């Protein structure tokens, strides 16, 4: 029987071996490539001396293909919990220096256990993805482990916030793990994600393409919409993750933490009174409005490069976290197309799941029309916005800045679809369609048969515009709660948030509904 001292020494030796499996030369090479090691990432992420590792001594059980002689420290994945900015968080970091961080049976079990642990304790989960993909040597055991991972994170979805940091390669079936989390932060030069790598694509399809083109940040932050934020490097990715966590609650039973601000809740923003151009088709930057009314001008944007015709992100009002969804006239006039609808609907549902009030700033001419959008399913995708708004139980506040036409009237949040408060600027144009479109339909025959068609058309357009294309008709019919001066927008939002503070107290909003599992949302 070994003595106590010998057992302790043996433990320390085995622990040190796991912690020091990578050579100094390999670590230096990694640093030169612009990346940290998995343990360096964990150390930087957590508050000093708060991280507790789980599963350090886990080992694979495969013996085929020489695996009985392979040592893989912690099976290529570090899991555990600790504090980030004083609040508990569960995290994992895949270790590319341990057999390329490949995903095997025990790797998957550790990951699934960490997510389940986070869900049960009510702590956010953060994953640092950096893996060569499936560990093919383990065959069916690897395949089954993916199922455990996917099921655990799906059952945790909507219970705890989940954030993925794409810091290295993440290809094949393993790429579903980060993309299924709530937010994905991708390192610009080192993060790659795809259903298959370039070699496999060329073999199967004959298409030659680089890894960066196929799976880099431009592919996902701009085109596919899988990536929410792009980071310069590992440090920037972790810093962005910490910033995002500070805006979110730990779980769906809590409200986001409220911070102290010196920004006066009823502060006026007189610069907004002159921001909207006289010409209704002339663009302006909606982000100027957002930054003028939120606390200290702070806005944490999500999916900035994808579907830029709408803006989503987080800000604070009097210290409260609020989700922002806005039209952006600088891009395609702020129209809602397929990508914009998907981007906004998922953001709305996230905010609703985690008790984050929402404020919208609308200036939208409508949903995008035309054969391309119709054939790709704009009706199906656009409906997601309607489902998201109608299902939402959080405080909902709409600011109608300029155009609020047709389906966009609901897509940008109005009273009928579920807004608690609707405030309109005097510049708001609220009607079924623009005056030009309406006149061309209603007075088509008159214009066609007129001896002076241009003059007749101009007269009828102006007539329709004067009658309907303004905020006052909507206010007369109680579709708008109040028409406000632009400078008073911050004040009115804060007052609305104050009175809606206990909107869902005792879950009355939920109990008043018919029982159902969930809405059959268009997907």
For the annotated catalytic residues, the residue numbers are: 172-173, 407-408
- How far apart CA 340 and CA 367 sit, in angstroms, is 10
Q: Are strands 310-317 and 358-364 parallel, antiparallel or unpaired?
A: unpaired
Contacts 24+ apart (CB under 8 A), 69-72: 70/99, 71/21, 72/98, 72/99
Q: 139 in the Ramachandran plot: left (φ > 0), alpha (ψ -120 to 50) or beta?
A: left
Residue in 284, 288, 328, 285 with CA at minimum distance from that of residue 307: 328
Collapsed DSSP state (helix, strand, coil) of residue 398:
strand
Q: 324 in the Ramachandran plot: left (φ > 0), alpha (ψ -120 to 50) or beta?
A: beta
R_g (Cα) of the chain, nearest Å: 27
Helices (H) and strands (E) in the chain, counts: 21, 17
* Longest pairwise C-alpha distance within the chain: 111
For 427, residues 6+ apart whose C-beta sits below 8 A from its C-beta are 276, 401, 402, 471, 486
Residue in 347, 346, 312 with CA at minimum distance from that of residue 328: 312
Alpha helices in 407-452 (DSSP H): 408-411, 435-442, 444-449
Sign, Cα dihedral of 363, 365, 367, 369: negative
What is the phi/psi pair of residue 205, to 5°?
-120, -10
**Strand spans (E) along 77-181:** 77-84, 87-94, 125-129, 162-166, 169-171
CA 64 to chain centre: 42
Q: Are 405 and 429 in contact (CB under 8 A)?
A: yes
Residue in 104, 82, 87, 86 with CA at minimum distance from that of residue 95: 104
Q: Are 418 and 389 in contact (CB under 8 A)?
A: yes
For 508, residues 6+ apart whose C-beta sits below 8 A from its C-beta are none
């Amino acid at each position: 029987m070994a003595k106590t001292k010998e057992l302790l020494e043996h433990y320390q030796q085995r622990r040190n071996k796991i912690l020091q499996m990578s050579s100094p030369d390999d670590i230096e090479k990694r640093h030169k490539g612009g990346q940290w090691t998995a343990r360096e990432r964990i150390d930087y992420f957590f508050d000093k001396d708060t991280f507790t590792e789980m599963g350090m001594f886990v080992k694979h059980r495969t013996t085929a293909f020489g695996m009985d002689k392979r040592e893989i420290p912690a099976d290529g994945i570090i899991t555990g919990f600790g504090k980030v900015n004083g609040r508990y968080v569960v995290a994992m970091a895949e270790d590319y220096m341990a057999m390329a961080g490949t995903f095997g049976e025990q790797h998957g079990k550790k990951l699934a256990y960490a997510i389940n642990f986070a869900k049960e304790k009510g702590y956010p989960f953060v994953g640092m993805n950096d893996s060569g993909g499936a560990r093919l040597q383990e065959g069916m055991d690897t395949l089954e482990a993916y199922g455990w991972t996917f099921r655990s994170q799906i059952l945790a979805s909507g219970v705890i916030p989940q954030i993925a940091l794409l810091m290295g390669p993440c290809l094949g079936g393993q790429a579903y793990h980060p993309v299924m989390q709530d937010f994905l932060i991708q390192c610009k030069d080192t993060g790659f994600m795809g259903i298959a790598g370039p070699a496999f694509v060329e073999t199967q399809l004959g298409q030659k393409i680089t890894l960066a083109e196929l799976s880099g940040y431009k592919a996902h932050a701009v085109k596919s919409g899988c990536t929410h934020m792009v980071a310069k490097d590992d440090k920037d990715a972790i810093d962005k993750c910490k910033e995002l966590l500070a805006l979110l609650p730990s779980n769906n039973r809590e409200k986001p933490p409220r911070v102290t601000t010196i920004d006066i809740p009823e502060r006026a923003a007189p610069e907004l009174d002159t921001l909207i151009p006289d010409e209704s088709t002339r663009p302006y930057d909606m982000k100027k409005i957002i930054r003028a009314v939120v606390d200290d001008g702070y806005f944490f944007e999500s999916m900035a490069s994808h579907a830029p015709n709408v803006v989503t992100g987080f800000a604070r009002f009097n210290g409260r976290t609020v989700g922002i969804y806005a039209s952006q006239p600088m891009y395609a006039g702020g129209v809602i197309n397929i990508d914009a609808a998907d981007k906004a609907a998922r953001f709305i549902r996230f905010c609703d799941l985690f008790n984050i009030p929402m404020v919208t700033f609308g200036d939208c001419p409508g949903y995008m029309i035309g054969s391309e959008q119709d054939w790709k399913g704009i009706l199906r995708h656009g409906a997601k916005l309607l489902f998201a708004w109608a299902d939402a139980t959080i405080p909902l506040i709409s600011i109608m800045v300029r155009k609020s036409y047709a389906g966009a009237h609901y897509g940008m949040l109005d009273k009928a679809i579920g807004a608690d408060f609707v405030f309109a600027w005097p510049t708001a144009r609220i009607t079924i369609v623009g005056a030009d479109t309406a006149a061309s339909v209603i007075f088509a025959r008159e214009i066609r048969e007129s001896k002076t068609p241009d003059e007749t058309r101009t007269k009828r357009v102006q007539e329709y515009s004067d009658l309907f294309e303004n905020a006052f008709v909507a206010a007369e019919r109680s579709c708008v709660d109040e028409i406000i001066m632009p400078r008073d927008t911050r004040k009115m939002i804060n007052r609305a948030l104050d009175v809606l503070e206990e909107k869902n107290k005792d879950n009355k909003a939920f109990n008043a509904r018919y029982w159902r599992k969930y809405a059959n949302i268009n997907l």
